[in-house]
Amino acid sequence: MVQNARIATFAGGCFWCMVGPFEALPGVEKVLAGYTGGHKPNPTYQEVCYNDTGHYEAVQIEFNPEQVTYKDLLDIFWRQIDPTDPGGQFADRGQSYQTAIFYHDEEQRQLAEESKQELAKSGRFDRPIATAILPAAVFYPAEDYHQGYYRKNEMHYNMYKEGSGRACYIKKHWGNDDKKKALKAKLTPLQYEITQNNGTEPPFRNDFWDDKREGIYVDIVSGEPLFSSIDKFDSGCGWPSFTKPLNETQIKEKTDLSHGMVRTEVRSNEADSHLGHVFDDGPGPKGLRYCINSAALRFIPKDELVEQGYAEYLKLFYE
C-alpha cells in the first residue's frame, strides 16, 4: 500500500462490473473484487452465490486521498448501480448481489449518508434508495480469474453487462450527465450556457453580429449546417440575423414563455442546441428574422468548406 493510502469498500452487484469504473480514476492505486459482510471465513465464489454465507460481492479500493476523494468514489459508485433495487442487481438476484456501502471510519459513514440523502432528494429515481450503509467487515479477495475480468475477458464481460440490463440502465439514468461533462470539456462557459441552458449573450459584444465574411454557420456542438452568410443581414439588434436557415429540417421551433413574453425559440435539430429566436419583422419573402447567438455558432469560411467537410455548400457562393 502506498503511503497515506486509504481503503473504500462498495457492493454493487456483480463485481466484474464494479472494477473498471474505479480503476479509471487517477489516484486509485488498486481495486480488488471479493466478498465481505458474511460469516464464513475464506468463502469461495460458489459458496457465496449458492449457499447462505451472508457475503456480498464487493470491490475494495485502495486510493490516494490527495488525488481522489471519498466523495468522488461515492459519485462513481452510485452511477454503476440501481440503488432502488433491494433484491439484487439487474439479472442477478439474491443477497450476495445487493448493494451496500461499507464504511471504514466515521467520516466515511457521514459522507455516505449525505450522498445517499442527496441522491434521494435529486428526483432522479421514482422509488426509495435501498442501498445499505454498513460498517466494514473482513474482506476476502475473490479467485484470480475474477480479478480484472473486464480486461481479461472483454467480449464476454461486455455481453454480460449489456445482457444483464446494467449498461442500458446506466445510460438511461446517467447518460445525460456524461453528455454534460463532455460538453463542458468541449465548450467555453458561454457556449455551454447559451446552447444548454437557453442563455443569451450581450448584443453588439459577440463574435458574428457584424461579421461580413462569406461562409456558413454550423452548430458549435454538433457541426450541423444552420445558416449562410448569403442570408445574413444587419438588423440593428446586435446579434447575427438571418432571413432563413440553410435547410428548414435542420431547425426546430418551440414556444418560449420565459421573461413574461411569448416568443418562438429556435433550436438545432440534431444536437437540440438553443440558438436564439425567430421574429416576423425581417426582410425577405417570408418576413422572418432569425436572431441567433454567436456563441451557438461556428463559422466556416467559404474557402475552407471543402477542407472541413462542407463541400456541398460551396455551390451556394457561385450561383
Bridge-partner residues for 217, per DSSP? 227, 299
Using alpha carbons, select from 70, 58, 57, 80 the residue that is nearest to residue 5.
70
Cα 191 from Cα 281, distance rounded (Å): 27
Q: Is 14 a catalytic residue?
A: yes
* Secondary structure (DSSP) of 126-192: SS----EEEE---EEEPPGGGTTHHHHTHHHHHHHHHHHTHHHHHHHHHHHHHHHHHHHHHS-HHHH
User: Which residue stretches of 187-301 are H helix?
Assistant: 189-197
Cα 275 from Cα 266, distance rounded (Å): 6
Using alpha carbons, select from 244, 237, 225, 230 the residue that is nearest to residue 285.
244
Q: Which residues are catalytic, by number?
A: 14, 291
